[in-house]
Chains A and B, each alone.
Chain A
Amino acid sequence: MIDDHVTRHVARLARLELTESETVQMQHELSAILEYVQQVQELDLATVPPTTHAIPLENVVREDVPTPSVPVELALREAPEVHGDGFAVPRMG
């Protein structure tokens, strides 16, 4: 159903490092799940609109009032690595 190439491509899109054995297992499991879920393709749905939310809401707005934001030191508290007043990240490849 999905091959090794697609599995690796999707893992890359999802930013997930998979080991070789995880990749093989993932390919089998995803194929089995996709085989099951493709029953949604049996139905003729050409005239049926999609549902994104079951309880529809429109134009939800609130007053545009400034409120205090999170203090910098609190925002950085849980970061694995901090540089000055910011989050430290590895260099872009």
Chain B
Amino acid sequence: MALTDLTAEQSITAIAAGRTSSEDLVRAHLERVEHDDWNNFLAVNREAALARAREIDAMPQRPPLAGVPIAIKDALSTRDLTTTAGSRILEGFRPIYTATCVARLEAAGAVVIGKTNMDEFAMGSSCENSAYGPSLNPWDTTRVPGGSSGGSASAVAARQAPWSLGSDTGGSIRQPAALCGIVGVKPTYGAVSRYGLIAFASSLDQVGPFARTVRDAALLLQSMVGRDPMDTTSLDWPDPIVLPTAGRLDGVRVGVIEELMGEGIEPGVRAACRAALRRVESLGGTVVPIELPHASYGLATYYLIAPAECSANLARFDGIRYGRRAEATDDLLEHYERTRGEGFGPEVKRRIMLGTFALSSGYYDAYYGQAQRVRTLIVRDFAAAFAEVDVLASPTSPTVAFRLGERTADPLSMYLSDVCTIPVSLAGLPSLSIPCGLSDGLPVGLQLAGPAFSENRLFDVAHALEAAIGFDPSPPGVTA
């Protein structure tokens, strides 16, 4: 077995047993990162990663993550390591501090090997909005890896890293995890500090892990959660994250979101999800239909709230304190307009415009105000559902990975990629995607969601299902 085939947990065991070292593991993964067939990396941290690996190898007492390599979405700031958020406006930008979640993982013994490609400022569902070209799906390189955290998902599927970090605003971890056949977790809103995450929509953004097993994802989240004085929205975490061991689902009530199992969902995706739900029953759980009457308004609500928040958050990119600036202008207003006009790509401009419009005088109540009220109805729908069931299930994405270019001409068709993940995001709830089978040779993801702080329960259910499904996360043609 190649070093790059090991899960993070297996790597930690192998290091502890003296069968390999952090340096060997980091070197093996860097080798794959540097021969990148999928355009997954925007920056490689070769020398610093190898130095850190040797340092950890020399420690008499290893930190818990033992020097296992990790890839980080380029939306997370890393001190002195180029961070662009997939945008021209941040080309060459080297942050002066490291995001808290990354710093916590480094302190726990993870070694950052590089920064992964993404839709510009996390706006997109295919990675095609990256200013540096799209990442490709290791299952079929004519197809997208999903987005916005496309590079982080593709890198883990392609064994360039055993795990990685992404950020999820409306589905940006779960949807690419589904399309690349791996596990992706969006924790409860506030679980992970966002200090150092380049902000998109602050009432929704959350950092979370990608991995090839549920246990690896849990292990990574375990090392990140908890209050950070630098992020006032971060929460005191009630119970530690525990690595799941469940093999049975006796007594677990799973609700199937009926609105997300019908029209608009590909038949092959539906079939794979139904098959996974039958396994819930064979493991001792019960499956019941659940209605979320306002889920169908989720997409419209999201495409008012998220652009409104982004239009405010992206005001900071003005070409003055950092980032790219337009050629000399002799007027400040012209400087702002030109710097931003040149620096942002089409989707980012579209969302800034949409958000600015939705917040502008005369339209605020009809659009942004109305969306915030619909959000309340969606929150209430979930609360009512969780009075009946422990976990909600649906497809993660309505389709398998689509072809490059297929949806770029029509923004709305791209937005529909997140129709299953957005309602959960609006309610701030934890959810994850696990691979549940193939449709036409491409991975299908099953989304599981629970009430706030139910991560341990979600991991247990996902772990039991993962074992029962027995999905092989090796894309054909990706060799060690």
A16, B297: Cβ atoms closer than 8 Å: no
Contact with A along B295-306 (1 / 0, CB 8 A): 001011101100
B350, A26: Cβ atoms closer than 8 Å: yes
A48, B369: Cβ atoms closer than 8 Å: no
A93, B333: Cβ atoms closer than 8 Å: yes
A40, B370: Cβ atoms closer than 8 Å: yes
Residues of B within 8 A of A37 (CB): 300-301, 303-304, 367, 371
Q: Contacts A50-B376, A90-B335 given; indicate if A13 touches B360 (C-beta within 8 A).
A: yes
A89, B320: Cβ atoms closer than 8 Å: yes
Residues of B within 8 A of A5 (CB): none
The stretch that binds A, out of B2-10, B22-30, B33-41, B322-330, is B322-330
Residues of B within 8 A of A54 (CB): 189, 203, 375, 379, 426-429
Residues of B within 8 A of A57 (CB): 190, 232-233, 235
Minimum C-beta distance from B79 to chain A (A): 10
A16, B341: Cβ atoms closer than 8 Å: yes
A10, B356: Cβ atoms closer than 8 Å: yes
Contact with B along A30-52 (1 / 0, CB 8 A): 10111011111101010011111
In chain B, positions 163-188 with a C-beta closer than 8 Å to chain A are 188
A43, B377: Cβ atoms closer than 8 Å: yes
A39, B321: Cβ atoms closer than 8 Å: no
Residue A24 at the B interface, CB < 8 A? no
B311, A14: Cβ atoms closer than 8 Å: yes
- Beta-carbon nearest neighbor of A11 in chain B: B353
B96, A17: Cβ atoms closer than 8 Å: no
**Residues of B within 8 A of A (CB-CB), count:** 70
Residue A22 at the B interface, CB < 8 A? yes
Secondary structure dominating the interface of A: loop
Inter-chain CA distance A74–B353, complex, in Å, is 33
B232, A40: Cβ atoms closer than 8 Å: no
Minimum C-beta distance from B352 to chain A (A): 5
B353: contacting residue among A19, A26, A87, A89, CB under 8 A: A26
A80, B331: Cβ atoms closer than 8 Å: no
- Beta-carbon nearest neighbor of A19 in chain B: B341
Minimum C-beta distance from A48 to chain B (A): 4
In chain A, positions 33-82 with a C-beta closer than 8 Å to chain B are 33-34, 36-41, 43, 45, 48-55, 57, 60, 62, 70, 74-75, 77-81
What are some 17 contacts across the A-B interface (CB < 8 A)? A7-B353, A10-B360, A13-B360, A15-B340, A17-B341, A26-B353, A32-B411, A33-B350, A38-B300, A40-B301, A48-B373, A49-B373, A54-B189, A54-B429, A55-B452, A89-B320, A90-B335
Other A-B contacts than A41-B366, A78-B93, A87-B321, 17 sampled, CB-CB below 8 A, are A14-B352, A16-B344, A17-B340, A26-B353, A32-B411, A32-B412, A40-B304, A43-B377, A45-B374, A50-B373, A53-B189, A75-B321, A78-B96, A78-B321, A78-B322, A87-B320, A93-B332
10 nearest interchain CB pairs?
Answer: A54-B428, A17-B341, A50-B372, A78-B322, A93-B331, A80-B325, A17-B337, A45-B373, A60-B232, A15-B336
